Structure 1
C-alpha cells in the first residue's frame, strides 16, 4: 500500500510520526527517518527536496542535532513533516523517499548522554516491599512519598530494540549459602518502563522547574530495564543497583514526540503526602500519560501494565534530578521505573508476576519464574490520540542468549 494511503485509524498515521534513525536497503549510511504506517520516510532527503530550512537537522546520522534545537524547532519540523505526508501537492516529491519498514535497518536513534532510572510506581514499590520487608510496618520506604527515588545507570549499554541480550555473569549469594559464588545469573528479569529523552541541555547549578519540562524533554519511548535479580540482591546493600542492571537496557527504535501525546495527558494518582514546593504539581498541567502497555514472552502476553497509575510524573522526576544543580545534556535518557498496576495481570516484572519465583507463570512452552536462554521479550504500547485514534509506540524486543 502506498505510504500516503495509510488506513484510517492506523496507530502510526500522520497524527503520530515518531522519529528514528535508519539505513536504507543496501546501504550502511544512517539518516533520520519518520515512520508512517509500515513505511519510513527519509526525512533528510525530503527536507532537502522541499527546500526546508531544517534540512541540516534531519540529514544526520543521529537525532541529537534535532533534540538540541529546542521546542520551537521541534514544533516547526513536526508541522512541516505532517504537511509533507498529507498535502497532495507534495506527493510526487515525497513518495519516492519512503522505504518499506521491513527492508530498512533501524539503529539506536540518539547518542545517549547520561542515563537515570527511577522507581515511580507505588504498586511496584509496595509489591517489592511486601516481598523483601514483610515485617516492616509499611511496605514503602519512609522517603518514597516525598521524592522520586532513582539511580544513575550506564549509558554505554543502552541498546536498540532487536539487540540480543547476553545473560550476565556475576557474584550471587543465596541467604543459606556460606559464601558467594560466581556464574551466570539464574534470576534474569525484565522491567517494563517508559523512557524520556532530553533534548535541550541545562546550565549546571540551575535546577529545571516543573513548568519547564516540555522545554527540555523531546519525547518518550518504551524501555526494558533488564535486571539480574540474584546479582542485584547480593551487591545492592548498602548502595544501589550496579552490575545487576548495567549489562543492558533496551529502548525502542522510535521516539514519540510529546506533541503527539497531548490527548493522552492525564492527572497522576492523588497525592497522599504534602510535597515540597519544587515537586508540587497541583497548579501545573496534568503530568501523567495514559499509556496502555503490554508485555509478552515468546509471543504470549503475560502482563498489561497501565502507565497512568505512576505516582511520580516525568516532570517531577526531571525537577528532582536537577534540583541539586546537576545539569542536563542533549541525549540524556531517564526511565520511569517498573510500571505496575494494582492487579496481578498489570505487574511489569517477573519478580512481581511470579512473586519472587514462588508462583511460576504457565506459558505455552513451559513454566517460567525468570527468563531462560532463547526467550524473546517484547514490550508494546499505545496511547489515546486525537478523535479516538490510537497513537502507537515503537515496540522493544530483546532475545536472551547465553554468555560465553
Structure 2
C-alpha cells in the first residue's frame, strides 16, 4: 500500500491496556484472570426467559430509536425510586448499546473541536480516547491513594481553563472502587455551577455500593440540568454480553444524542431490551445476592493483599481493588507481566488507567472465592520471591 488511508486522529489511538493482558492470558494454561471487569455470575434466569419469550412472541423488529417506551418508563421509575432523580421517559432517556456507547454519544453531542474535558484519574480506559475521537482534549486530574482515590473540588477547579466544557466522574469508580459521598459530590457541584460545566456521570456501578446506594450526581440540588447520567445493565444485572445501557439528561441534550444514535445504531437490540425490562421489574433479589457475594470477596482480597505487603484501601463499591505494588520495586507493567509469566495470574497494570495509576494494579474480584484464594497465594509467593527492595 503506497499510502495510509487511516484518519490522523485514529493513527495514534492505543489499544486497550486491559484487553492486552486478557488476550495474553487467553493463550496460556492454568491462568487465573483477575483482569476483565465482568461478573462471574450468569444473567438471572428470569431475564433470559423474558428475552426468549419476546422472540417467541415475534418481537424481532426495530424499536423506537430511543428504545422501547415501556423500558424507558421502567428506567424512569427505577431511577426515581433508587436514586431520587426523575426523568421524562418520552424525551429524557435514551437506551444505548451498553454504557460505552452512551459515553461516546454523549461526548460527540456536547464537545466542540478543541473543548477540554476534565477526566478524574485513575479512570476507565475509554474516556480519554472517546474524548479525542469527539474532537476534544482530555485534561487529567489525579485522585490519590492518600485521599482514598477521591477527587477534591480544589483539584477540579485548578484544572479549569476558558476551554473547559465538561468533566467525567465515575462513582463507584473503575478501577479504584472509590465512592463519592453526597457531601463530596455537593462540594464538586459548587465548582460545576460556578463554571457552568456539563458533568458526564458514569454510574454503571451505582447498585454495587456496599454502604447503601451510591448518590447520583443528578440528584444533587441544581445539578440535574448540568448532568448526563450514563449507566446500564452489564454490571449490576450480570448482562455484559447483552450490550444494553442508557443515558439520561436534559431534554435538549438527549434529543441531540438520539439523533446521533439513530444515524449510527438505529436502536439497541430488541430482545435485550425485553430482558432489561424484566431485570428492572423483578431483578432486585438477584442484584442483592450478587452484591453480598462481592462484598465478601472484597473483604477477603483486601485482607490478603495487605497481609502480603501490598497496601490496599477498602473500596466502597464496584468489584475491583487497586493495591500499591510500589514496595516491590517494579513498575506496574513489569509486575503484571512477570506475575502472569511466573504465577499465571492476570491483573491489569495501573498505568493503563492514567499516569496516576502507575505503581498500582487493578484486580477484579468478580470470580469465585476458590479462585481468589488460589490467586492470592500465587501473588503472595510472587511478592516474596521477586521483591526488589
TM-score range (shorter-chain normalised) is: under 0.3
| Greater strand fraction, Structure 1 or Structure 2 | 1
Q: Which has the higher contact order (CA 8 A, sep 6+)?
A: 2
Q: TM-score, normalised by structure 2?
A: 0.25
